[in-house]
Amino acid sequence: MANLELKARILIVFMLLLVLGSALYLLYARGAFESTQELVLVADDSEGVVVGMDMTFSGFPIGRVRRIELAGDGKARIVVDVASKDAHWLRTSSVFTLVKGLVGGPNIRAYSGILNDPPLPGGAVRNVLQGDTSAEIPKVIAAARDLLENLNTLTGASGPARGTLANLQTLTQRLNGPGGALAVLLGGDAEARKTTVTLDRANALLARLDGVVAKADAQVFGAKGVMPETRATVAQLNAMLGEARGSLRKVDAILVDAQVVASNAKDATTDLAALRSEVEASLRKVEGLITEINRKWPFARDSELKLP
Amino acid sequence: MTPTGAWHSRVTQSGAAAGHWLLEWWRMAYLGAILTVLAFSPSSYGRAARATLSRHVYLNTAPILPGFSLLCALVTVVLTRIVVVTAQSYGLSQYALQVVIRVLVLELIPIGAALFVALRCTIPDGVELSVLQAGGRLDDLRRQGSDPTRAEVLPRVVAGMFAGVTLAALSCVVALCVAYVAVYGFTASGLEGYTRLFGQVFSPPVTLIFTLKTLFFSLAVSLIPMASALYGQPARPGAGVRTSAEMRSLVRMFAVLLLIEVASLVGNYY
């Protein structure tokens, strides 16, 4: 075959190029040609973190885990290579999380709230916040189990819900029964029947009361009823009151006279009081005089008792 | 025959079979060692040898390269579609491409390429070699002072290995490209994420195991048919097809491929 050696050489070169190209692509894909800056994330637990996994920012991979090592204090140090071209997304105030989902490995995520802060320096050491979805599952399941047990207790054969439903059913049956709602309210058909009878009697009574009221109306407001008589009496009373008012005016005049007499008597009483006080003063002087004479008299009685 | 005699006869037969089995494996290992030494010796690549080698390399590789690449592309499209659709239905689409790369590129394509090379090139080469030996061509070479291993076996083994590695490499590249197009379409916007994913799958241990696996696959499918052709005994009259040298070679080759695959799986996932 013509040019067989040349074709074979071309084939060999093609194979070598293929292998070499694949190797270079692999090195590029592994980040061998990109400049990076180091970031150390300190975590309590690095379970699930593998070398080569991504660290994402807003869903975009900006770094990859290069090494995981155990620090002297027992914590895991996750060394991440952050591509230099993406390092500006990380600031001194950035927060890093290690979140484990239900499926797949954990995810390392970076959050930068304030992009005006100074950039994160190379070799920075940051604590990583950890969240574990699967760790929450047992708690949720325990709570759900409690809830289901409570529900079972409520709806069980001897549970309150079942009793309530049975009572409700009885109530409905009785509502549909002959006594209806009245029997339910009063507790039995006999009571309901009594109430019905009572109502009938009340109706009859009301009918009779109607008659009574009509008669009373005639008695009170009729032509010769109580009210016209009362009106005449009131008129007579008014006349009598006018007479009484005249009598009272006369009594008033008498009372004015009596008041004048009383004031005269009061003045006389005031003069008598002054006279009495003068008499009392004279008596007090006489008494003082007698006391003085008794003291100065030589045979004055010794009123002092002397003890032996 | 007494029971003791029957037992003795059975033990003797088993021992002979085991010895024969060991001898065959030893011969194959020995041939492999000789061929490795010859392959790295510059003296093996004289002008005449180069011409022979070129012919074998080209004829073993070029005719099957487009067909196998096309087959790989088709399988990749179908498998990628199945995996992506299934993953999407379970809400796990972020893992679909990784699964495709792992299953196709890491596992299926190397063994597929090796089997394709075995069926299309190395087994026919082995038959050709056994015909040469049966025709006395190899003895003629020995009489002429030439080494038949270097003249006839080495070019075939090297060509088989070359074909295996080339097919695997090209098919992997084709599968990666087709998987990308099947998922992202004809756009370059997903290239960065795809490259990153590729880098994550091909960690250094996985890459090493993949390379070694491809090389050992190629070596196994190239060497075993040649060893069987050189050292295999013709089937005894009346022994049936099951004991023929070709059949034993085929079984041995599949067993070795299986062992390499299992070892690679253990290395990758344990």
Tell me, yes or no, whether B255 lies in a domain: yes
The pLDDT of residue B141: 84
β-bridge pairing A107-111 and A95-100: antiparallel
The pLDDT of residue A2: 64
Contact B53 A52 (CB under 8 A): no
d(CA B20, CA B232): 11
User: Which among B53, B58, B68, B215 is the top mutation candidate for probing chain A, defined by the most A β-carbons within 10 Å of its own β-carbon?
Assistant: B58
Please state the φ and ψ torsions of residue A223, each to the nearest 5 degrees. Answer: -60, -40
Please give the average per-residue pLDDT across A35-64, as a whole number.
88
Convert the pLDDT of each residue in B196-225 to its tens digit: 889 989 988 999 999 999 999 999 999 999
User: What letter does residue A117 receive in the DSSP assignment?
Assistant: S
Tell me, yes or no, whether A58 lies in a domain: yes
The pLDDT of residue A1: 58
Number of structural domains in chain B: 1
Work out the widest C-alpha separation in chain A, in whole angstroms.
195
User: What letter does residue A33 receive in the DSSP assignment?
Assistant: T
Convert the pLDDT of each residue in B48-98 to its tens digit: 888 888 999 999 899 999 999 999 999 999 999 999 999 989 888 878 888
B191 touches chain A (CB under 8 A): no
Tell me, yes or no, whether B3 lies in a domain: no
Judging contacts by C-beta atoms under 8 Å, the chain A residues touching residue B92 are: 103-104
d(CA A37, CA A63): 9
Q: CA torsion B126→B132→B135→B137, rounded to 10°?
A: -150
The pLDDT confidence band at residue B236, using thresholds 50, 70 and 90, is low
d(CA B267, CA B32): 24
Contact A11 B199 (CB under 8 A): no
The pLDDT of residue B70: 94
Convert the pLDDT of each residue in B8-19 to its tens digit: 888 888 888 888
Helices (H), chain A: 4-29, 133-155, 160-176, 180-186, 189-221, 226-296
Which residue, among B93, B110, B90, has the nearest Cα to B216 in the 3D structure? Answer: B110
Rounded to the nearest angstrom, the minimum Cα separation between A184 and chain B is 57
Tokens read off for A245: 């008012």
Rounded to the nearest angstrom, the minimum Cα separation between A147 and chain B is 29
The pLDDT of residue B229: 85
DSSP letter string over B204-218?
A: HHHHHHHHHHHHHHH
The angle formed by the CA atoms of residues A151, A154 and A157, to the nearest 5 degrees, is 120
Rounded to the nearest angstrom, the minimum Cα separation between B130 and chain A is 24
Convert the pLDDT of each residue in A170-213 to its tens digit: 888 888 877 777 777 877 778 888 888 899 999 999 999 999 99
Judging contacts by C-beta atoms under 8 Å, the chain A residues touching residue B163 are: none
Judging contacts by C-beta atoms under 8 Å, the chain A residues touching residue B195 are: 25, 28-29
Q: Which has more confidence, A115 or A109?
A: A109
d(CA B246, CA B252): 10
Contact B203 A51 (CB under 8 A): yes
The angle formed by the CA atoms of residues B153, B155 and B158, to the nearest 5 degrees, is 105
Convert the pLDDT of each residue in B110-160 to its tens digit: 999 999 999 999 999 988 888 888 888 888 888 888 888 888 899 999 999
B145 touches chain A (CB under 8 A): no
User: Which among A3, A11, A28 is the top mutation candidate for probing chain B, defined by the most B β-carbons within 10 Å of its own β-carbon?
Assistant: A11
Contact A28 B207 (CB under 8 A): no
B237 touches chain A (CB under 8 A): no
pTM of the predicted model, to two decimals? 0.65
Please give the average per-residue pLDDT across B174-183, as a whole number.
93
d(CA B90, CA B99): 14
Tell me, yes or no, whether A241 lies in a domain: no
Q: For residue A63, list its beta bridge partners.
A: A55, A82
Number of structural domains in chain A: 1
β-bridge pairing A76-83 and A60-70: antiparallel
Convert the pLDDT of each residue in A214-260 to its tens digit: 988 888 888 778 888 888 889 999 999 999 999 999 999 999 999 99
Tell me, yes or no, whether A263 lies in a domain: no
Domain that holds residue B260: 23-269
- In this structure, of A12-26, B47-61, B254-268, the range with the lowest mean pLDDT score is B47-61
d(CA B270, CA B265): 8
DSSP letter string over A64-109?
A: EEEEEEE-TTS-EEEEEEEEGGGGGG-BTT-EEEEEE-SSSS-EEE
Tell me, yes or no, whether A89 lies in a domain: yes
Report the chain B residue with the minimal C-alpha distance to residue A29: B199
d(CA B236, CA B265): 39
The pLDDT of residue A302: 60
Dihedral sign from CA coordinates of B55, B253, B263, B75: positive
The pLDDT confidence band at residue A106, using thresholds 50, 70 and 90, is confident
The pLDDT confidence band at residue B269, using thresholds 50, 70 and 90, is confident
Dihedral sign from CA coordinates of B245, B246, B247, B252: positive
DSSP H or E segment with residue A110: strand A107-111
Convert the pLDDT of each residue in A124-153 to its tens digit: 898 888 876 667 778 888 999 999 998 888
Report the chain B residue with the minimal C-alpha distance to residue A21: B173
Domain that holds residue A59: 34-136
How far is residue A295 CA from its own chain's centroid? 95
CA distances from B89 to A5, A50, A131, B83, B184 (A): 52, 27, 27, 10, 18
Tell me, yes or no, whether B31 lies in a domain: yes
A→B interface, C-beta within 8 Å: 1, 4-5, 7-9, 11-12, 14-15, 18-19, 21-22, 25-26, 28-31, 51-54, 61, 64, 103-104
Contact A26 B58 (CB under 8 A): no
Judging contacts by C-beta atoms under 8 Å, the chain B residues touching residue A12 are: 57, 162
Tell me, yes or no, whether A106 lies in a domain: yes
Please give the average per-residue pLDDT across B29-38, as a whole number.
90
The pLDDT of residue B157: 93
Which residue among A18, A52, A54 sits closest to B170, beta carbon to beta carbon? A18
Q: Which has more confidence, B201 or A297?
A: B201
Please state the φ and ψ torsions of residue A132, each to the nearest 5 degrees. Answer: -130, 105
The pLDDT of residue B218: 95
The pLDDT confidence band at residue B246, using thresholds 50, 70 and 90, is confident
User: Which among B101, B200, B215 is the top mutation candidate for probing chain A, defined by the most A β-carbons within 10 Å of its own β-carbon?
Assistant: B200
The pLDDT of residue A300: 56
Rounded to the nearest angstrom, the minimum Cα separation between B207 and chain A is 9
Computed over every residue of chain B, the mean pLDDT equals 87
Query: Which of A96-106 are b and which e, b meaning 16 or more Cβ less than 10 Å from the residue's Cβ?
Result: bebebeeeeeb
Rounded to the nearest angstrom, the minimum Cα separation between A19 and chain B is 7
Tell me, yes or no, whether B14 lies in a domain: no
Please state the φ and ψ torsions of residue A34, each to the nearest 5 degrees. Answer: -105, 140
Tokens read off for B38: 């010859």
Which residue, among B111, B210, B214, has the nearest Cα to B165 in the 3D structure? Answer: B214
Judging contacts by C-beta atoms under 8 Å, the chain A residues touching residue B94 are: 104
Please give the average per-residue pLDDT across A274-278, as a whole number.
88
